[in-house]
């Protein structure tokens, strides 16, 4: 595994371990590590974990992926994955957030969990002056682009999770400053009539470390001990 820093714990919910990988993590290695952590959480051998990392350029196919949405299968490695959703891209300057949380302790409500993720990412984007939204019938977090037309919007964060025996894994990818042209090899998330964006594309010059700090600062509002008071969808 690549080197990691165990940081941010002092500003995140203290019962959840935060891991940050400093180098890109190969996708198969990340899946194997998630499998191990999920099993240990379920058996009471490990704490809940948030893992922040980047991958080398790859495409991943969720359980709803359609073969026709892989437009250029030779551009980057393609991995089938057990998470929900369709095709997406991962690569440098995109913060991948793997959430290994125990829903047995959090209400066993998968829909509420997804809503918590959405509200968390929206609040995090707000730290950078970006107004994110959810869209009916579309997963992930979207940003209105009125300069492209009255109904135009771009996706800035993708969500795809899996739950095994009430422990979650996989999670979120947040575009900080990836090469957006890399999305051209797929129909991202099965949606062909809208585009992709990032903090950098929106004129916000921040690093993945800046994103990490914002994610950690807002995390307790949605997954901490008092989050049950929030009005999730």
Kindly report, residue by residue over 18-31, the tens digit of the pLDDT.
899 989 999 999 99
For 80-97, what is the mean pLDDT?
93
Give the integer Cα–Cα distance in Å for 24 and 1: 10
Whole-angstrom CA distances from 12 to 7, 107, 111, 151, 225 are 9, 20, 23, 36, 11
Q: E-strand spans in the chain? A: 4-5, 17-21, 49-53, 58-61, 78-80, 87-90, 94-100, 133-135, 138-144, 153-164, 167-175, 195-196
Spatial neighbors of 144 by CB under 8 A, at least 6 apart, are 131, 133, 152, 153
The yes-or-no verdict on residue 187 having pLDDT over 60 is: yes
Average pLDDT, the chain: 89
Kindly report, residue by residue over 29-49, the tens digit of the pLDDT.
999 999 999 999 999 999 999
Give the integer Cα–Cα distance in Å for 154 and 180: 11
Domains of the chain in sequence order: 4-226 (3.30.930.10)
With bands split at pLDDT 50, 70 and 90, how would you rate the model's confidence at 8?
very low
Tokens of 152: 């135009």
Give the integer Cα–Cα distance in Å for 100 and 107: 15
On whether the pTM is more than 0.95, the answer is no
Q: Is 233 labeled as catalytic in the residue annotation?
A: no
Closest CA to 83 of 30, 4, 154: 30
Kindly report, residue by residue over 101-159, the tens digit of the pLDDT.
999 999 899 999 999 999 999 999 999 999 999 988 888 999 998 887 766 899 999 99
Give the integer Cα–Cα distance in Å for 50 and 217: 13
Spatial neighbors of 92 by CB under 8 A, at least 6 apart, are 24, 54, 56, 57, 178, 179
Whole-angstrom CA distances from 123 to 14, 65, 151, 162 are 20, 29, 23, 23
Tokens of 155: 């996706």
Could you give the 3-state DSSP secondary structure of residue 66? coil
The yes-or-no verdict on residue 177 having pLDDT over 60 is: yes
The one catalytic residue in 115, 189, 227, 233 is 189
With bands split at pLDDT 50, 70 and 90, how would you rate the model's confidence at 9?
very low
The yes-or-no verdict on residue 2 having pLDDT over 60 is: no
Tokens of 229: 């008071």
The yes-or-no verdict on residue 87 having pLDDT over 70 is: yes
């Amino acid at each position: 595994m690549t080197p990691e820093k165990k940081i941010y714990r002092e500003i995140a919910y203290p019962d959840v371990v935060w891991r940050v990988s400093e180098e890109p993590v190969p996708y198969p290695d990340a899946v194997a590590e998630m499998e191990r952590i999920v099993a240990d959480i379920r058996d009471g051998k490990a704490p809940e974990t948030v893992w922040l990392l980047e991958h080398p350029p790859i495409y991943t196919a969720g359980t709803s992926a359609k073969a026709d949405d892989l437009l250029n299968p030779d551009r980057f490695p393609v991995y089938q994955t057990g998470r929900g959703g369709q095709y997406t891209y991962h690569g440098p300057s995109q913060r991948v957030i793997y959430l290994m949380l125990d829903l047995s302790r959090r209400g066993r409500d998968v829909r509420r969990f997804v809503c918590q993720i959405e509200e968390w990412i929206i609040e995090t984007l707000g730290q950078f002056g970006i107004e994110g939204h959810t869209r009916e019938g579309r997963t992930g977090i979207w940003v209105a682009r009125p300069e492209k037309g009255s109904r135009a919007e771009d996706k800035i964060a993708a969500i795809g999770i899996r739950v095994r025996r009430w422990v979650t894994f996989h999670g979120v990818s947040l575009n900080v400053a990836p090469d957006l042209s890399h999305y051209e090899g797929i129909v991202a998330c099965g949606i062909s009539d809208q585009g992709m964006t990032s903090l950098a594309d929106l004129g916000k010059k921040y690093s993945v470390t800046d994103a990490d700090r914002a994610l950690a600062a807002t995390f307790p509002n949605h997954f901490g001990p008092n989050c049950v008071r929030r009005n999730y969808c």
